[in-house]
Amino acid sequence: MPDEMARRLILERGDGGARHFEDAVPDPSSPVIGILGTGDFSRSLARRLVASGYQVVVGSRTPTRFVALFPEEAEVTTQLEAANKADLIFVAVYPEHHSTLMDLKQTLAGKTLVDVSNSLSINHKGPSNAELLADYFPGSFVVKGFNTVSAWTLQMGARDGGRQVFLCSNSQTAKNLVKSICHRMGFIPVDMGLLSSSLEIENLPLYLFPSWRLPVLCMLILFIFFYLYNFIRDVLYPFITEHKSAFYKMPIEVVNVTLPSVALVMLALVYLPGLLAAFLQLWSGTKYNRFPNWLDRWLLSRKQLGLCSFLCAVLHAVYSLCLPLRKSAQFKLSNMAYKQVKKGMEDSWVDEEVWRMELYLSVGIMALGLLSLLAVTSLPSVAGTINWREFSFIQSTLGYCALFMATAHTLFYGWNRAFVLARYHFYMPPTFVLVLVLPFVVLLGRAALCLPCVAGRLRKIRRGWERNRHIRFMLPAEDCRNGVENVSNV
Ligand code: NAP
């Protein structure tokens, strides 16, 4: 199939160039394909169909006007003639113009109509364009499909676009016919069932990162919060108390303290809902109670939260590498060296500081490495190559390792500064103290779940055991019909 898509498309009418498509010669056994409409989609589709060896007939309100835009192999004629000649018809006109095709009702009866239309906005209530088309043409078999494929993809081949074509119809025969056309054009048909799925298929191209909204919003809110917090502590505080201008810190230093804070809190937010779910199951003694909606949505957003955390961590690494390049850092360094010489100090080596920095950097690099692994394995193409146990080992066990390393990275950064009162500017604790709260809660929660008594009970619950489920045996004397003894609450 890829070879078919890689094939060069047919030349335009009047190109004068030689045509080299042996496959473009129509196969007499294959159905004649009609297209109603002569717009962008119709032109691209006609070319791809001709290149795939189909006989194509295009129906237009004004055939002579657009005939030059189609390949010579395609016949451009009136809508009625096209509907008459074709076995299967692609309706490549906007849905608001579907009703103008009503004159063709008799001619299209018993034929397959493929509705390729998209809506302008997401339609939650229905009916879909395809269902409306089916109402207009009750004698035809409507198939919804190809609306997620752009005219560009049709022209360029599947290498430059999505290869999947979502199809649905109430007629299995009509759907199978469209499936075979899909295959021959180099696309992969995805059967979405009955025509009632058409609303979902029509909404597919209109969604704007639906699963990313909450995680990105969360990341932005955290970023703004920590940025303002760091700004007050690191820029405003010296300005108010010592009249020292530290506003130069705003573009890089403040951002670089904010990014790891967001990254660590977001990473903790990836693992917190799993813990909440586990504790909820332990508390209710069953896995069959539904989680609250907010927890369900949170659990479903974990991948996106993790990827946002990874993005912040990568940006933090890049910002950190750029720190020595700044003029302010170079001036500070030369000033310190000058002061040292002036004081007659020869060696500025502080053992404790050296160790702190070595450990801080080492665990930071490890945390970033593990986060990269988690990010890579969250890609569907990679996740598809590993089994469920491998996936959960990477995402859960290595994920907790990444959280542990990132927490250690922050602890080494803070060292003993949490206990230095002078660090509490405006009575605000240093940022790392604030940031560490959630990861500590998550790591302690995880450790609690690892306790044998808790882990054993959770394992039982997850295998279907329920605390409140009692076996009832009824005594023949009391209220029993089947001679079953009542030994409830055993
Ligand atoms: P277009 O370029 O505007 O073409 C629409 C065609 O509809 C016109 O060329 C016209 O052809 C025909 N038509 C029939 N009755 C009409 C009427 N009463 N008023 C106006 N035009 C009428 O649109 P398009 O981009 O090809 O899109 C066509 C359909 O494909 C739409 O439903 C769209 O949602 C869907 N689609 C398009 C793309 C894409 O990439 N363009 C992708 C997926 C789906 P005649 O004048 O020759 O009759």
Question: Would you give the end-to-end CA distance of the chain in angstroms?
Answer: 63
Mean pLDDT of 56-81: 95
The answer, yes or no, to whether any atom of ligand 1 lies below 6 A from the CB of 78, is: no
The answer, yes or no, to whether any atom of ligand 1 lies below 6 A from the CB of 100, is: yes
Mean pLDDT of 64-73: 93
User: What average pLDDT does the structure give for the chain?
Assistant: 90
Q: What's the CA-to-centroid distance between 196 and ligand 1, angstroms? A: 23
Per the model's pLDDT, the better-predicted residue between 329 and 348 turns out to be: 329
pLDDT in tens, 38-63: 999 999 999 999 999 999 999 999 99
Which residue among 45, 75, 93, 120 is best mutated to probe the pocket of ligand 1, counting the most ligand atoms within 8 A of its Cβ?
A: 93
Q: What's the CA-to-centroid distance between 35 and ligand 1, angstroms? A: 10
Q: Name the residue at shortest CA distance from atom 23 of ligand 1.
A: 39
Read off the tokens for 307: 């990827």
Q: What's the CA-to-centroid distance between 36 and ligand 1, angstroms? A: 9
Question: What does each C-alpha distance from 317 to 262, 310, 430, 442 come to in angstroms?
Answer: 13, 11, 21, 24
Q: Provide the pLDDT for residue 477.
A: 52
The answer, yes or no, to whether any atom of ligand 1 lies below 6 A from the CB of 107, is: no
Question: What does each C-alpha distance from 21 to 7, 8, 41, 50, 67 come to in angstroms?
Answer: 9, 9, 22, 10, 21
Give residue 49's Cα distance to chain centre. 32
Read off the tokens for 7: 């094939």
Instruction: Ligand 1, residue 42: give the atom nearest the CA.
Output: 26
Q: Provide the pLDDT for residue 468.
A: 80
The answer, yes or no, to whether any atom of ligand 1 lies below 6 A from the CB of 40, is: yes
Closest CA to 443 of 390, 407, 485, 394: 407
Lowest-pLDDT range of 5-9, 45-49, 97-101, 463-467: 5-9
Q: What's the CA-to-centroid distance between 176 and ligand 1, angstroms? A: 25
Per the model's pLDDT, the better-predicted residue between 347 and 299 turns out to be: 299
Q: Provide the pLDDT for residue 99.
A: 95
Is a pLDDT exceeding 70 seen at residue 267? yes
CB atoms within 10 A of CB 373: 16
The answer, yes or no, to whether any atom of ligand 1 lies below 6 A from the CB of 156, is: no
Strands 188-191 and 164-169 come out as parallel
Q: Name the residue at shortest CA distance from atom 10 of ligand 1.
A: 37
Instruction: Ligand 1, residue 94: give the atom nearest the CA.
Output: 32
Per the model's pLDDT, the better-predicted residue between 13 and 294 turns out to be: 294
pLDDT band at 470 (very low <50, low <70, confident <90, very high): low
Contacts of 83 (CB under 8 A, 6+ apart): 34, 36, 59, 89, 104, 107, 108, 111
Q: Name the residue at shortest CA distance from atom 37 of ligand 1.
A: 41
Q: Name the residue at shortest CA distance from atom 35 of ligand 1.
A: 117
Q: Provide the pLDDT for residue 158.
A: 57
| Cα(129)–Cα(195) distance, integer angstroms | 10
Side chain identity at residue 174, one-letter code: A
Q: What's the CA-to-centroid distance between 97 and ligand 1, angstroms? A: 9
pLDDT in tens, 402-454: 999 999 999 999 999 899 999 999 999 999 999 999 999 999 999 999 999 99
Is a pLDDT exceeding 80 seen at residue 281? yes
Q: Name the residue at shortest CA distance from atom 3 of ligand 1.
A: 39
The answer, yes or no, to whether any atom of ligand 1 lies below 6 A from the CB of 60, is: yes
Task: Give a three-class secondary structure readout of 459-477.
Answer: HHHHCCCCCCCCCCCCCCC
Q: Provide the pLDDT for residue 163.
A: 84
| Cα(311)–Cα(138) distance, integer angstroms | 52
- Identify the helix (H) or strand (E) that includes residue 399: helix 399-414
CB atoms within 10 A of CB 345: 9
Q: What's the CA-to-centroid distance between 91 and ligand 1, angstroms? A: 9
3 state SS of 169: strand
Read off the tokens for 230: 């760091």
pLDDT band at 190 (very low <50, low <70, confident <90, very high): very high
Mean pLDDT of 190-200: 97
- DSSP-derived letter for residue 401 is H
pLDDT band at 5 (very low <50, low <70, confident <90, very high): very low
pLDDT in tens, 355-405: 999 999 999 999 999 999 999 999 988 998 999 999 999 999 999 999 999
Closest CA to 467 of 480, 477, 479, 457: 457
| Cα(358)–Cα(352) distance, integer angstroms | 10
Percent with pLDDT over 90 in the chain: 79
Q: Provide the pLDDT for residue 431.
A: 96
Q: Provide the pLDDT for residue 159.
A: 62
| Cα(199)–Cα(195) distance, integer angstroms | 8
User: Residues, the chain, total?
Assistant: 490
Read off the tokens for 166: 């979502």
Mean pLDDT of 190-207: 96
Q: Provide the pLDDT for residue 26.
A: 64
CB 394 within 8 A of CB 377: yes
- DSSP-derived letter for residue 158 is G
Read off the tokens for 157: 């081949």
Q: Provide the pLDDT for residue 6.
A: 45
The answer, yes or no, to whether any atom of ligand 1 lies below 6 A from the CB of 153, is: no
Q: Provide the pLDDT for residue 2.
A: 43
pLDDT in tens, 131-148: 999 999 999 999 999 999
Which residue among 94, 144, 154, 156 is best mutated to probe the pocket of ligand 1, counting the most ligand atoms within 8 A of its Cβ?
A: 94
Q: What's the CA-to-centroid distance between 41 and ligand 1, angstroms? A: 7
Q: What's the CA-to-centroid distance between 151 and ligand 1, angstroms? A: 11
Question: What does each C-alpha distance from 433 to 175, 403, 411 come to in angstroms?
Answer: 60, 16, 9
Read off the tokens for 243: 């009249």
**pTM above the 0.85 mark?**
no
| Cα(33)–Cα(52) distance, integer angstroms | 12
Burial of 293 (0-12, 13-18, 19+ CB in 10 A): exposed
Buried b (16+ CB within 10 A) or exposed e, 422-459: ebebeeebbbbeebbebbeebbebbeeeeeeeeeebbe
Instruction: Ligand 1, residue 97: give the atom nearest the CA.
Output: 18
Taking the CA of residue 309 as centre, how many other CA atoms within 13 Å lie in the half-sphere pointing to its CB? 28
pLDDT band at 484 (very low <50, low <70, confident <90, very high): very low
Question: What does each C-alpha distance from 345 to 338, 340, 348, 353 come to in angstroms?
Answer: 10, 5, 7, 17
Is a pLDDT exceeding 90 seen at residue 467? no
Q: Provide the pLDDT for residue 166.
A: 97
Q: What's the CA-to-centroid distance between 410 and ligand 1, angstroms? A: 57
The answer, yes or no, to whether any atom of ligand 1 lies below 6 A from the CB of 39, is: yes
| Cα(277)–Cα(290) distance, integer angstroms | 10
